[in-house]
Amino acid sequence: MLKTDVTAYLLQGLGLNSASFIVTVYGDVVVPRGGVLWTGTLIGICERVGLNESLVRTAVSRLVAAQRLRGERAGRRSYYRLDASARREFDQAAALLFAPDIAPRGWQILHVPGLTAEKARQMRMGHMGGQVFLRPDRGQPPPDGALVFHAADPAAPAELAQFWDLSALQAGYRAVIARFAPLESLRCEALSDGDALVARLLLVDVYRNVVLRDPRLPQAVLPSDWQGHAARALFRRLYRRLSPAAERHVAARFEGVDGRLPATTPESEARLAGLG
């Protein structure tokens, strides 16, 4: 793969979701730099991944209606920031992406009246039957109305894997590795700053959409060939390598309500430090 083909290669067969990509732009670039982005900048970065202005404006309108983006004006220009609820969601995602993993302290067994199996999957819980669910205990607050029991690791922890669909996650992690591992053969510093930012955004978008479905089970529960660890290590290596050039592009091209966004901030530097 030639460095000039990086964006086309990463996009091949991806089926990029415009709303997801826009949230990624905000969560990865804009939130650590004040949270506000000019619409023209958003349109420009989306065009680099094949999302035209009409698609972007439609996606932004839907995100506003869903209370995930909030608009504001300054003169003739329009700006958007993540809504508070979306900001909280991406803060949680950022902890999964950039912070050291927290080892679980046993398990939570939860009886949650009215919780559907689909909603439980979105919360990364295993369904044990009826209204009883299971997840690793990392001190998470329980859902409203839940009765929670705390349990130590069982004698045969691998048997707990039956309560999750790990095959779909395994396929997702393999897809992350297949798409992004070839970037390691390139000298990332030889990429243009714009290509480096696009590659980093696509890396975050694709990996985030897998890791947010991962219950992060203890090693003893996972298959011996679990690909989540390799995907996580690849994400961390590539994010660090792509960031210097990506952040130069942010400083040169991204505009907020007060002018150009800075290349780095204490929050962006803390994210990189967390990947070390």
Q: Which of 96, 233, 227 is nearest to 166 (CA)?
A: 227
Specify the pLDDT at position 188.
63
| Sequence spans of domains, the chain | 3-101+166-274, 107-151
Q: pTM to 2 decimals?
A: 0.94
pLDDT tens, per residue, the chain with 276 residues: 544 588 999 999 999 999 999 999 999 999 999 999 999 999 999 999 999 999 999 999 999 999 999 999 998 899 999 888 778 877 888 988 999 888 899 999 999 999 998 999 989 999 999 999 999 999 989 999 999 999 999 888 899 999 999 999 999 999 999 999 999 988 766 789 999 999 999 999 999 999 999 999 999 999 999 999 999 999 999 999 999 999 999 999 999 999 999 999 999 999 999 998
Specify the pLDDT at position 189.
64
Residues 6+ apart with CB under 8 A from 269: none
Residues 6+ apart with CB under 8 A from 236: 275
The answer to whether residues 47 and 7 touch, using CB atoms and an 8 Å cutoff, is no
Interatomic CA distance for residues 255 and 55, integer angstroms: 20
Specify the pLDDT at position 3.
47
Specify the pLDDT at position 135.
97
Strands 77-82 and 107-111: unpaired
Specify the pLDDT at position 253.
97
Q: Which amino acid is at 123?
A: M
Q: What are phi and psi of 221, to 5 degrees?
A: -90, -20
How crowded is residue 98: how many other Cβ atoms within 10 Å of its Cβ? 19
Domain 3-101+166-274, CATH among 3.30.300.180, 1.10.1270.20, 1.10.10.10, 3.40.50.1820 = 1.10.10.10
Q: Which amino acid is at 140?
A: Q
Per-residue DSSP letters for 131-161? TEEEEE-SSPPPPTT-EEEEEPPPSSGGGGG
